[in-house]
Amino acid sequence: MGLRAVYVRHPEDIVHIMRTHADRYCKGVEQLAAMHEFLGEGLVTLSDGARHAEARAVLDPGFRAEFVKGMLPTMAAVAQELVDTMLFKAGAGPAKDVEVEELCRRATLDVLGRTAFRFDFQALAVARGASQGVELAAEAAQHKSVSGSAPRYADAVTLWDAVLGPAMLIAFDMKIPNFIIPGYAGYQDGLRTFNQLVKTVISKRKAEGLEDGSKDLLTVMLQAQQQGNSLMTDKHIRDELMVFLLAGSDTTAELLAFACYELSRRPQLQQQVRAEVAGVLAGRPLTALTVEDTRGLKLLTACVNEVGG
């Protein structure tokens, strides 16, 4: 297909490319262009250095350590909901298979939505049959959905399933017409609904008002827009949201799912990790976990670093 790819995985090579010699490497401009319909021009896909720096400056408060630490109660609550959903799926009778990776994607999307956009995608609730997903805003719901019927609700994970595979093939910019890519029609429908979903997220946050001192990623962008920042148009905010939805939930979901898989292969280590968590919680519920507690989770941290590294 005219492409030669070199995959890099040694930590020293990654530091060389991403940090010490980053000025010698650029992102694939053609691939970024191929992804425009899907991700637009958000942080991961912006190739213009000055605009990239401006977007980073606006979003910086949302990435500060203090703000991220404040996300812990939400993360702990979603972790508990993930456990509950796994048990619900496993059922009371004979053991059933549970699709762990999908549930991890639902959990990380719920964390991202609640912390970065102050929005509840209800992704885990959908898996339990307790929700139909997000009710699309009236003006956004006029178009057709993935299934072809007039949508009122959208499940973000189902949309990802329709969009992500074809989007990755499109990103390879294979010089073939898009319509022969498997799943392309579903991708187009899914992307349309995704755009409506993102519109719903933005209009809800606007309707709530921005004057409450919140530093979540969506609020800081909308505040910058209100203050006249010319980069932060509605279109740019849509693009950043799409980037965060991908960069901030798929990555963490795969790490979580892979960690579960590796621990399932090492029952003894799994028991040690469980004992460590139980010791730190000392009878308190998981939802009571504090930042101070996480410092005592050395074995769990090492496992996550091993899988993520």
Write out the residues near ligand HEM by the rule CB under 6 A.
27, 43-44, 56, 112, 116, 243-244, 247-248, 251-252, 255, 308
CB closer to ligand HEM out of 86 and 245: 245
Residue 151 C-beta: closest distance to ligand HEM, Å: 26
Residue 61 to residue 71: CA distance in whole angstroms = 13
CB closer to ligand HEM out of 116 and 237: 116
Residue 6 C-beta: closest distance to ligand HEM, Å: 15
CB closer to ligand HEM out of 255 and 277: 255
Residue 238 to residue 41: CA distance in whole angstroms = 9
First to last CA, the chain: 31
Residue 282 C-beta: closest distance to ligand HEM, Å: 29
CB closer to ligand HEM out of 116 and 136: 116
Residue 251 C-beta: closest distance to ligand HEM, Å: 3
Phi and psi for 176 in degrees, rounded to 5? -125, 155
- Cα-Cα-Cα-Cα torsion 83, 86, 87, 93, nearest 10 degrees, comes to -170
Q: Residue of minimal CB distance from ligand HEM? A: 248
CB closer to ligand HEM out of 254 and 293: 254
Beta bridge partners of residue 134, listed in sequence order = 154
Residue 130 C-beta: closest distance to ligand HEM, Å: 25
Residue 44 C-beta: closest distance to ligand HEM, Å: 4
CB closer to ligand HEM out of 154 and 241: 241
Residue 48 C-beta: closest distance to ligand HEM, Å: 12
CB closer to ligand HEM out of 32 and 273: 32
